[in-house]
Structure 1
Amino acid sequence: MSQHTDQRSQTKLVFYQTEHKTALEAFHLPDTQKQFTGMPKEMLQIALEDKHRFPVVIVANGNPVGFFVLYDGEERFEYSDHANSLVLRAFSINYYEQGNGYAKAALRQLKDFVELHFLEVEEIALAVNLQNPCARHVYLSCGFIDNGRTKMGRNGLQHILVMPMKTKRSCH
């Protein structure tokens, strides 16, 4: 049991570096999960060609175990009304690493990671497919909120979940 906890405590978020490429290309997800996310190899290629996409690797004990993209382009307004928002996209944990608590460990670090690297961000948003209740539960248990907003995705209806950041001072 303590080994399980130690593994999670060694989880960290880092921006993609070329040293992660081989592990991300070997990433495996079963078809039942692929329908809800993009594979790191493809998502990484898109991200490296788009200045609004920031690929992030979830590293545990020095090894890449997960991946996601933070996005600040115009499509973010499909997810959030905040001008200073980011969208969390293509979040996944390598199938062979699932069940070790890495997803929750990463999501619990997300707010601090974003506050450190994206100073003006007021909200992180994501879309999770209605047919993916396990993922929705994980996001909700790690600080995301469901305000009842939905959008149609490539594989059906999606819940829009948001994570508010630190309250910013305003003159309203």
Structure 2
Amino acid sequence: MGEPSTSTETVVLDFFNEKYRSYLEDYYLSEDQVKFTAHPLDALLACKKDPTRFPVVIFYNDLPAGFFVLHGWEGVKEYWDNRAAILLRGYSVNTAFQGRGIAQKSMALLPEFVKQHFPDRNEIILSVNHGNALAQHVYKKSGFVDKGVRTMGSKGELHIYHMLL
């Protein structure tokens, strides 16, 4: 094993495949994360019931380290009126992998991933709880913009962030 180097650390996004399920069974979210996001296995159940939800795994050095869902119009319409938008939801990084810049790196890859796999989309939106300051910071640093759109969610006020593609 060589010395840690950021140049050898890779973050890659790929659609969920059943062969990754065992990694997600051992996926741990902190108490703070559980307040604001779904566990990947719960999100996968929702994806099975809704064909407009696409589960995505975040890989760190070839290991599943994070997870999110891209949701089509059925999810977008709860928050925004752009039919060409896609909703990012259920985003998390496994607690065991936190502190390595994975969130920032995965967010940097997101626009190109969406353009490649959903070429008809011109915007990514997400909702973030008003109490989740850490996530707000990461999303804003990644290029999402808070246009002042607010709505109520099951856990309080949500801020809707936007990223034009």
Change in Cα spacing, 1:28 to 1:4, as seen in structure 2 (3 Å) is farther
TM-score with structure 2 setting the length: 0.94
For structure 1, which runs of at least 5 residues remain unmatched after alignment?
A: 166-172
| Helix, strand or coil at the partner of 2:54 | strand
TM-score with structure 1 setting the length: 0.91
Q: CA deviation at 1:22?
A: 0.5
Contact 2:73 2:85 in 1 (8 A): no
Q: CA deviation at 1:45?
A: 1.6
Identify the residue that residue 20 of structure 1 maps to in structure 2. 20
* Counterpart mapping for 1:16-165 below 5 A: 16-165=16-165
| Helix, strand or coil at the partner of 2:7 | helix
Identify the residue that residue 170 of structure 1 maps to in structure 2. none
| Helix, strand or coil at the partner of 1:12 | strand
Q: CA deviation at 1:78?
A: 2.4
Contact 2:144 2:161 in 1 (8 A): yes
Change in Cα spacing, 1:79 to 1:96, as seen in structure 2 (3 Å) is same
Moved over 4 A (4+): none
Q: CA deviation at 1:3?
A: 2.6
Q: CA deviation at 1:33?
A: 1.2
| Helix, strand or coil at the partner of 2:106 | helix
Q: CA deviation at 1:79?
A: 2.2
- Counterpart CA distance in 1 for 2:97 and 2:75 is 31
Identify the residue that residue 3 of structure 1 maps to in structure 2. 4
- Counterpart CA distance in 2 for 1:24 and 1:120 is 30
Q: Which amino acid aligns with 1:103?
A: A
Q: Which amino acid aligns with 1:128?
A: V
RMSD value over aligned CA atoms? 1.3
- Counterpart CA distance in 1 for 2:7 and 2:31 is 30
- Counterpart CA distance in 1 for 2:122 and 2:80 is 10
Q: CA deviation at 1:83?
A: 1.1
